[in-house]
Chains A and B, each alone.
Chain A
Amino acid sequence: MVDDPNGLASDELGDDEIDVTPTRALFVEMLTRDLLLNRAVIDLVDNSVDGAKRLRPERDQRFDGLEISVTLSSDAFRITDNCGGIGIDLARRYAFRFGRARGMPATPGSVGQFGVGMKRALFKFGHGFEVISTTATDHFELRVDVDEWELEPGPWRFVFDTAETGLENPAAKTGTRISVSPLRADARAQFGNPAFVTALTREIQSAQQQYIDRGLLITVNGRSLIATPWKLIQGGGIEPHIVEDVLQLPNGVVQRRIYAGLGDSMPQAAGWYVFCNGRMILEADQSRATGWERGDDPEGVIIPKFHGQFARFRGYVFLDSDNPALLPWNTTKTGVDADTDVWRNTYAKMRSIMRPVIDALNRLDAEKEAPANARAIEIALRNSSPKSLRSLTRLGDFVVPSKAPGPKPPPWTSIQFSRPKSKVDQLKTAFGASSNAHLGELLFDSAYDEHVGE
């Protein structure tokens, strides 16, 4: 029997025992297998954002002056922040442990809750990494050659190259710098690929929208990301649905805000947006996950499968908690964990809340068949404008103008046909019509007067 460098020496093993210690290589492989590179980068950005939140913990506090910078190329990956740094104690007990040790408190309202993000990302990216961090009192430097570490025998550990505590570092000097090189083959290929970097930039911008909006500066390869605040249409008799409540759960409290209403007609932007502790985990979702049902019957008012006429639908769900374990995100923060109590309850609320909006959009669609002055919602839309969620303060139900009372207007229909262009142009000139549609209207009205009469 060959002694496994990771396991017990065979003489330490009793006759009735089997050594089941995993090899480090297997562990690294398992830990990183399903992780996408872009998610791993976003995980690291999340950690820095958590640092910013530890520095400025008040809800909605500004983050001006705090900065996270990500640099990636086919040679190396680096993320630097000035968000308070990782203390030696935190590094030993949490940041470099695999899994959160029991009793280790979470950052209130944090995003990185699983205690695996950073290590997983570092292993995923490269064969070696370096972490240098400075807090108000501590400074450490840690360099790990992953290939060597995988072969090391005995207990699993990383060794600090430098670890000082009891210092008095100025606040401006605090922060963390993580560098990875040399990169593994897939990271080398992707990090050097401009399309990957562009997509990643957009993802970070979306995911961290809330924080960028609050003044946090995030740059990717030197380009700073900008916030495009989430908006809903308001005015002209249109009001979005806005509800805020607090869910009291056995292990803590979840603050919930749900916004739903109309936006500009953009199919790719329509749907539900779900945020956990400010981090976007679903973007413009138009799937079953957020209540869109598969149905081929447009009759009646259901929550239909997402369809073109709903390109104006927008919904935003914000779930915040000091105890991130209560939030319904999956481990990669790319979607919701549908089995959680908070999500089951929120999903039911979303389904209820979206119905009047869908109803209004069906009406808007039907208004195409109505005379121009009977198009209540279309008229309202002209007198409204998109407002950022922050500026919307009225709590209450979704409102759109109701149908005008009075007899149902006769339905309208459109006529479409083709004729040789030269003939059409001649007739247009003869009638002094400004467009084909105008010509058609003139011809129709004159034919109607002549053959049908008033």
Chain B
Amino acid sequence: MAGSYTKIDYRVRPAKYAERLMMVDAFRRLRFGSIESYQYVGLGSVYFTDFSLIHKSLGIDKLVSIEKNEEDRERFEANVPFASIEMLWGNTSSELQKVRLDLRSIIWMDYDGRLDRSVLADIAHIASEATGGSVLAITVQCRFDRVTREDGTDASIEALSSSIGAERLPNDLSTNDLLGKGTGAVFRKVMLSEIENALDARNAILPPGQRIKYKQIFNFRYEDGVQMMTIGVVFYDVGQQVLLDLCGFSDLPFIRADEETFEIGIPRLTPLEIKKLERQLPLQGSTPLDRGAIPERDVIRYARLYRYFPSIAFVDS
């Protein structure tokens, strides 16, 4: 597959933009060590948008980007925004092995495609190696993908089984379970169980007091043209429970530790409407917002997201 960077300008995906800012807000709360000492590992594409944000707002210098489009190397290298970005060229399956996961890391595997065996193997590798205090976020497409046989009958479950492995899916899974938000819910379970299996294998040889656990912190859903999901987890060893508690992730309104999702719905507002709403935010107790003629749905969305809402202006010269 050609890199999606040739088709989409990453900067104008508003939900993704909001997601990035929320994630950074959460990373800022990490208490396992100074945030500047973390390593950031991502799939930077040519825009390196996440790298800019992570470097500038968190002060993280050690940055690693994995890029499979080796033949376009010149273009990527011309776009590397900071001197401290290390480029690894090749598939994640080969390059992740070269990343030092014994360093406390924030790893954002922001894939273009759907969940498949390769993504799961990446997840398993990271969960097997990531040191306590590390964060792993995985972004994949989660649209329901209906597949039919030649005679028109439904083969969606078979197609899913062949792409991620029948053994990873519940025996009683039916196509209805995949409709709407169902695919995302199934993907989340599959990803988490991949993490659990990897941790089980890892912990098998560790003394009980040093075993590695994980806690889910992100369960985002959003749509910039296609339905996407991001699952995020923090790895910690049993002895770091107190540090995890100190992070106080649950104080952030978008943190989701279970199957409940946080939907990043982008309100459609004019600049004037934005000004009107922002003057009344943050919400003062239960005082309702004076929304004027703005649709209620957009008001609710904006009140939830306004700190992370992108202000985009196209400048025609």
The minimal Cβ–Cβ distance linking B113 to chain A, given in whole angstroms, is: 8
Q: B301 to nearest A CB, angstroms?
A: 35
Contact pick for A342, options B92, B97, B125, B204, CB 8 Å: B204
Chain B residue with the shortest CB-CB distance to A405: B73
Chain A interface: which of B114-122, B277-285, B305-313? Answer: B114-122
Partner of A407, one of B71, B97, B163: B71
Q: List the A residue with the shortest CB-CB distance to B92.
A: A301
What per-residue 1/0 map shows which CB atoms of B83-97 lie under 8 Å from chain A? 000000111111001
Interface assignment of A434: CB less than 8 Å from any CB of chain B:
no
B91 touches A295 (CB 8 A): no
What CA separation (Å) do A295 and B118 show in the bound complex? 11
> What chain A residues lie within 8 Å of B128 (beta carbons)?
348-349, 352
Is the C-beta of A51 less than 8 angstroms from some C-beta in chain B?
Answer: no
Residues of chain B within 8 A (CB-CB) of A301 are 91-94, 118, 121
Is B162 an interface residue, CB under 8 A from the partner? yes
A residues near B, CB below 8 A? 247-250, 293-297, 299-303, 341-342, 344-345, 347-349, 351-353, 355-356, 358-360, 397-398, 402-403, 405-408
CB contact between A341 and one of B89, B94, B116, B204 (< 8 Å): that residue: B204
Cβ contact of B162, chosen from A249, A295, A356, A397, cutoff 8 A:
A295
- Answer yes or no: B200 CB below 8 A from chain A CBs: yes
Q: Is the CB of B70 within 8 A of A405?
A: yes
Interchain CB contact (< 8 A) of A302 among B116, B125, B129: B116
Q: How far is the CB of B66 from chain A (nearest CB, A)?
A: 12
A294's closest neighbor in chain B, by CB? B165
Q: Count of B residues near A, CB < 8 Å? A: 32
Some 18 contacts from A to B, beta carbons below 8 A apart, are A250-B207, A295-B165, A297-B117, A301-B91, A301-B121, A302-B121, A342-B204, A348-B128, A348-B201, A352-B128, A355-B121, A398-B94, A398-B97, A405-B70, A405-B71, A405-B74, A407-B71, A408-B71
Whether B97 pairs with A355 at a CB distance below 8 angstroms is yes
B315 / chain A contacts, CB cutoff of 8 Å: none
Residue in B71, B93, B98, B163 with the greatest tally of chain A CB atoms within 10 Å: B93
Partner among B71, B92, B129, B204 whose Cβ is within 8 Å of the Cβ of A344: B204
Determine the distance from Cα of A299 to Cα of B201 in the docked complex, in whole angstroms.
27
- The answer to whether A355 and B94 touch across the interface, beta carbons within 8 angstroms, is yes
Contact with A along B168-205 (1 / 0, CB 8 A): 00000000000000000000000000000110111011
Bound complex: CA of A341 vs CA of B202, how far in Å? Answer: 9
B247 to chain A, nearest CB (A): 27
Give Cα A78 to B242, complex, Å. 65
Contacting A at CB under 8 A, from B110-159, are 116-118, 121, 124-125, 128-129
Interface centre among A360, A398, A402, A407, by most chain B C-beta atoms within 10 angstroms, is: A402
* Contacting residue for A397 out of B70, B97, B125, CB 8 A: B97
The listed residue with most B CB atoms (<10 A of its CB), out of A299, A355, A408, is: A355
Is the beta-carbon distance between A342 and B71 smaller than 8 angstroms? no
Is B97 within 8 A of A356, CB to CB? yes
Inside 8 A of B93's CB, which chain A residues have their CB? Answer: 301-302, 355-356, 358-359
Residues of A within 8 A of B207 (CB): 248, 250
Name the residue of chain A whose CB is nearest to the CB of B126.
A352
One of A248, A344, A353 near B200 (C-beta < 8 A): A344
Q: Supply 12 further A-B pairs (C-beta < 8 A) apart from A359-B90, A360-B94, A398-B97.
A: A247-B205, A296-B162, A297-B117, A303-B117, A303-B121, A341-B205, A344-B200, A345-B201, A347-B201, A348-B197, A405-B71, A407-B71
Collect the chain B residues with CB atoms within 8 Å of residue A358's CB: 93
Residues A355 and B125 in contact, CB atoms below 8 Å apart: yes
Q: Are A359 and B94 in contact (CB under 8 A)?
A: yes
A294 / chain B contacts, CB cutoff of 8 Å: 165
Interfacial chain B residues near A345, Cβ < 8 Å:
201-202, 204-205
Q: Which of B199-225 contact A (CB under 8 A)?
A: 200-202, 204-205, 207
Q: In the assembly, what is the distance between CA of A355 and CA of B121, in Å?
A: 9
Separation in Å of the B127 CB from the closest CB of chain A? 9
Binary contact readout B65-83 vs A (1 if CB under 8 angstroms, 0 otherwise): 0000011111000000000
Which 5 residue pairs are nearest across A and B when measured between Cβ atoms?
Answer: A408-B71, A341-B204, A348-B201, A302-B117, A300-B118
Closest A residue to B118 using CB positions: A300
Contact B118 A348 (CB under 8 A): no
Residues of B within 8 A of A359 (CB): 90-91, 93-94
Residues from chain A with a CB closer than 8 A to the CB of B163 are 295, 297
Residues on B with beta carbons closer than 8 Å to the beta carbon of A406: 71, 73-74
Q: How far is the CB of B259 from chain A (nearest CB, A)?
A: 26
Tell me which residues across on chain A come within 8 A of B125, comparing CB atoms: 351-352, 355
Among B124, B129, B202, contact of A351 (Cβ-Cβ < 8 Å)? B124
Q: How far is the CA of A359 from the CA of B121 in the complex (A)?
A: 12
Known contacts A359-B90, A359-B94: does B204 contact A300 (CB below 8 Å)? no
The docked-state distance in angstroms from the alpha carbon of A404 to that of B89 is 11
CA A112 – CA B97 in complex, angstroms?
37
Question: How far is A295 from B97 in the complex, measured between Cα atoms in Å?
Answer: 23
